[in-house]
Structure formats: structure tokens, C-alpha cells
């Protein structure tokens, strides 16, 4: 279950257990996607604060033995929500999102990624 609506995982195509196993080329590609998806996700959700988390090894709370980054939007908390904490990754509040809403959000993020890529390509010219 996502920690918030828009929680995205970014991973390598090839199996790599830890970030230390990733090639330089894969690291550059991951970094590019972290930046691209962060911007697209913020534009779609309107949430401009987020966590980027990557755990290495069981002692560091890595549950899935494959390198992946979590992009987790962190909306402002109001009222009683302020007393709840997001500080421990994987613990605490989780967000309910139904499949239909998640599908719509994913489609909007994909479209925004397309626009961001076009913008980046124009900037290269």
C-alpha cells in the first residue's frame, strides 16, 4: 500500500540487489528518472514536498532485494494529522487509494512525463 497518493517506485531493468551493484550507466539513468518523475509527480499532484528513499540491505529496512527508489509525495498536514508522523519509512500512516483513482493518477503522471521529456529536449537545442 502506498504511503501517499502518487508513491512511485523507480528501479533498474537488470537485477541489482544494492546500489553498490549498479553500473555507472544505470546510476545515471536512475538519477535522470528520479529528477524527471519528481518534477512530473509534483506537477500532477500539486504536492511540492516529497521523500526520496533507497534502502540497502535488511538492516537498512530493504525488504525487496532489488535496487529501487521510492518517491513519496508529502502533503501538508493539518489539524489532528499534524500529530501523526511520517518520519519512519514504511511505518505509520499509509494512504488508501482505490484502483480506479490510482489508474487515473498514473495516466496523468505518464502524460506529464511526456511533457517533461519534450521540455528537456527543447532545452537541449
Q: Return the active site residues.
A: 68
Choose among 53, 59, 43, 42: nearest CA to 11.
Answer: 53
Burial of 105: CB neighbours in 10 Å, binned 0-12, 13-18, 19+ = middle
For the chain, how many residues are written? 125
Amino acid at each position: 500500500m502506498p504511503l501517499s497518493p502518487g508513491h512511485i517506485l523507480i528501479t533498474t531493468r537488470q537485477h541489482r540487489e544494492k546500489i553498490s551493484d549498479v553500473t555507472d550507466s544505470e546510476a545515471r539513468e536512475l538519477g535522470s528518472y528520479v529528477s524527471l518523475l519528481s518534477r512530473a509527480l509534483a506537477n500532477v499532484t500539486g504536492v511540492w514536498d516529497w521523500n526520496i528513499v533507497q534502502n540497502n540491505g535488511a538492516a537498512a529496512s530493504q525488504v525487496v532485494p532489488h535496487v529501487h527508489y521510492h518517491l513519496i509525495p508529502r502533503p501538508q498536514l493539518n489539524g489532528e494529522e499534524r500529530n501523526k508522523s511520517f518520519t519512519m519509512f514504511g511505518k505509520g500512516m499509509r494512504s488508501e487509494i482505490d484502483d480506479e483513482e490510482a489508474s487515473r493518477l498514473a495516466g496523468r503522471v505518464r502524460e506529464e512525463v511526456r511533457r517533461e521529456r519534450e521540455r528537456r529536449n527543447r532545452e537541449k537545442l
